[in-house]
A and B are shown apart, each in its own frame.
Chain A
Amino acid sequence: MVRFESVGLRYGRTGGRDAAPEVLRNISFALPEGAFRWLLGPSGAGKTSLLRLMYLAALPTSGRLTLLGNDIGRTPRRALPRLRRRIGVVFQDFRLLPHLTAFENVALPLRLAGRPEAQVRADVTELLHWVGLAGKLSTLPDELSGGEQQRVAIARAVIARPNLLLADEPTGNLDAAQADRLMMLLNELNRLGTTVIVATHNESLVARYPNSELRLDRGRLVHEP
């Protein structure tokens, strides 16, 4: 499902004397299908960079990364969009498109995948009902509370039934009750077969939902199960 082999990442210049510093160094681990992992570490440890590699917002500058059976270094750029559609991402800042309604934000992954409009309408409406936003289909993100925006973001991340679900500090803007509800949703998706990786600082959340951990420190993986 996910395999890192001596993966390194630099932003900016990748070679020469003035090469940018490595934000990730010699990362190696493998996740089987259906795994759940916490991604832990202090600020600046490289959690977000590791997730960026996994949702293909960045490409490794060294080593080998295999995602969903694809060696990313050998995969042509034109094939990456199809791969991205199999990966769902939940961001701390939600990253909803402000000019689109809740419905249209959630519909995006399906429309990008070319699903028929009737199916888009049915699936999005059902999922927004499921996350408790039945009455907010035509509401813009700015008119939603933080928790509601988070649920829209989650709905968008899971609507296309991704094989891999990544969450970057997903509870950062939520109160305890909302965070628990989110964790129950992530666990449910994991139980249905989705591989889930959650990056967080929230140690109490990790304690309440014990799972295997990947721990980073200064760009290196210091603990894996």
Chain B
Amino acid sequence: MKLASGRTTRGDELGLKRALSGLMLPALVGAMAFLAALSLAGWEGSSSLARSWRDGARAALTVQVPRPNEAALGGNRLNVAVSLLSVAPGVASVHPLTEAEVAKLLRPWIGGDGGPVTIPLPAVIAVRLTGDDIDTEPLRRQLADAVPGIAMEDHGQWVRRLSDLAWSLQACSLLAVALVSAVAVAVIAVATRAGLMARREAIEILHGLGATDSFIAGRFARRATVLALAGGLVGTVLVLPVVSVLSGLIAPFTGTATTEATTVGSALATVPVSLWADMAALPAGAALIGFLTAQGTVRRWLRRLP
């Protein structure tokens, strides 16, 4: 109710607008939301990278043919290997790398100015399989019989290692979100307890007038929810540029963009939809933590009153 003087405190019988600071709690919750958003960005980034790596490495083989130009039964060793691979079941494509391609791959290790490599190199055949569940062992034996000394590398072990790495990164991100949430709970609980101490007398008066625990806890919870929501919104808005920049940097590696993002718009466009959804949920999550923490803290404290 608004009275003639303009004073109105309807719904704030406990004076919580003053007791529960409108600056400190949102600032702390905002910082927590900021950190949580970064952790979620880490989760999304590691997921995208792992997916990209897996997609690149999945269902692929690399075959090395030493002394490729030496004769073998049916042609030179390279041609024999390519022929065998081309007709093998489960093989989708066979691509013998040119000398220039091999030299390009090796340049970081052996240097050079793009001219021909003078040391003897094996031929390399990139093989794409039709699926990632194909048993390559028979093919390995067949190649070894026909072209002795041939080496075939299955990329499965790299996929497994990348998966382990991705899971580790994602677990760290989840742990960080859990820790940040726990700190947010602690911060809100401490603020609520401070509010309880500051409004102890008012609470006792209301309790004596017949206020239920639900009523009193509800007033605290409402205030904590509003403050936590505000903090969550501020933290999420502030983290947006950082997340956009990170997404822009990681985009070329995940295949979501071919080059680094150079404008705000292009950086925002690289933020994955799932990360947008995570960040949209952050303020709601902060509000929920505020509500539940305040309810629990106040109800536990009220049990000391008869």
Interface residues of A (CB under 8 A from B): 55-59, 77-78, 80-85, 89, 95, 97-101, 103-104, 107-109, 111-113, 117, 121, 137-140, 156
- Pick the interface stretch among B152-160, B202-210, B286-294: B202-210
Q: Given the complex, which residues of B lie within 8 Å of A113, measured CB to CB?
A: 210
Q: Given the complex, which residues of B lie within 8 Å of A55, measured CB to CB?
A: 208
- Pick the interface stretch among B7-15, B27-35, B112-120, B228-236: B7-15
Asked whether B4 is an interface residue with its Cβ less than 8 Å from the other chain, the reply is yes
Instruction: Tell me whether chain B's interface is mostly helix, strand or loop, or mixed.
Output: loop
Would A109 and B209 count as touching, CB distance under 8 A? yes
In chain A, what residue has the closest Cβ to B19?
A: A99
Would B13 and A138 count as touching, CB distance under 8 A? no
Taking A57-B306, A84-B209, A112-B206 as given, write out 18 further A-B residue pairs in contact, using a Cβ cutoff of 8 Å, ordered by the A residue number.
A55-B208, A56-B306, A80-B306, A84-B207, A95-B201, A97-B206, A98-B15, A100-B9, A103-B1, A103-B3, A104-B1, A104-B9, A108-B206, A112-B209, A113-B210, A138-B7, A139-B5, A140-B7
Cα distance A138–B201 in the bound complex, in angstroms: 22
Would B210 and A85 count as touching, CB distance under 8 A? yes
Would A112 and B215 count as touching, CB distance under 8 A? yes
Question: Which of B9, B207, B306 has the most chain A CB atoms inside 10 A of its CB?
Answer: B306
Cα distance A97–B219 in the bound complex, in angstroms: 15
Cα distance A113–B3 in the bound complex, in angstroms: 21
Cα distance A138–B5 in the bound complex, in angstroms: 6
In chain A, what residue has the closest Cβ to B215?
A: A112
- Nearest-neighbour CB distance to chain A for B275, whole angstroms, equals 43
Cα distance A108–B13 in the bound complex, in angstroms: 8
Given contacts A77-B306, A100-B9, contact A89 B3 (CB under 8 A): no
Interface residues of B (CB under 8 A from A): 1, 3-5, 7, 9-10, 12-13, 15, 18, 201-202, 204-213, 215, 306
Cα distance A155–B7 in the bound complex, in angstroms: 20
Would A58 and B306 count as touching, CB distance under 8 A? yes
Q: Closest 7 A-B residue pairs measured CB to CB?
A: A85-B210, A138-B3, A138-B5, A99-B15, A84-B210, A81-B210, A81-B212
- Nearest-neighbour CB distance to chain A for B300, whole angstroms, equals 14
Question: Which of B1, B3, B4, B215 has the most chain A CB atoms inside 10 A of its CB?
Answer: B1
Would B210 and A109 count as touching, CB distance under 8 A? yes
Q: Given the complex, which residues of A lie within 8 Å of B202, measured CB to CB?
A: 97, 99
Given contacts A80-B306, A84-B208, A84-B209, contact A97 B1 (CB under 8 A): no
Would A97 and B205 count as touching, CB distance under 8 A? yes
Q: Given the complex, which residues of B lie within 8 Å of A139, measured CB to CB?
A: 5
- Nearest-neighbour CB distance to chain A for B158, whole angstroms, equals 62
The 29 sampled A-B contact pairs (Cβ below 8 Å) are A55-B208, A56-B208, A56-B306, A57-B204, A59-B306, A77-B306, A78-B213, A80-B306, A81-B212, A84-B209, A84-B210, A97-B13, A97-B205, A97-B206, A98-B15, A99-B9, A99-B202, A101-B3, A103-B1, A104-B1, A104-B9, A104-B13, A107-B1, A108-B206, A112-B211, A137-B4, A138-B5, A138-B7, A156-B209
Q: Given the complex, which residues of B lie within 8 Å of A121, measured CB to CB?
A: 1
Would B4 and A95 count as touching, CB distance under 8 A? no
Cα distance A82–B306 in the bound complex, in angstroms: 13
Would B4 and A138 count as touching, CB distance under 8 A? yes
- Nearest-neighbour CB distance to chain B for A11, whole angstroms, equals 12
Cα distance A103–B5 in the bound complex, in angstroms: 12
Given contacts A81-B212, A112-B215, A117-B1, contact A101 B306 (CB under 8 A): no
Would A97 and B15 count as touching, CB distance under 8 A? yes
- Nearest-neighbour CB distance to chain B for A40, whole angstroms, equals 23
Cα distance A107–B213 in the bound complex, in angstroms: 19
Would A137 and B210 count as touching, CB distance under 8 A? no
Q: Given the complex, which residues of A lie within 8 Å of B201, measured CB to CB?
A: 95
Among the listed A98, A108, A138, which residue makes an inter-chain contact with B209, where contact means beta carbons less than 8 Å apart?
Answer: A108
Question: Which of B9, B209, B211, B213 has the most chain A CB atoms inside 10 A of its CB?
Answer: B209
- Nearest-neighbour CB distance to chain B for A82, whole angstroms, equals 7
Given contacts A77-B306, A80-B306, contact A101 B5 (CB under 8 A): yes
Q: Given the complex, which residues of A lie within 8 Å of B7, measured CB to CB?
A: 101, 138, 140
- Nearest-neighbour CB distance to chain B for A158, whole angstroms, equals 12
Q: Given the complex, which residues of A lie within 8 Å of B1, measured CB to CB?
A: 103-104, 107, 117, 121
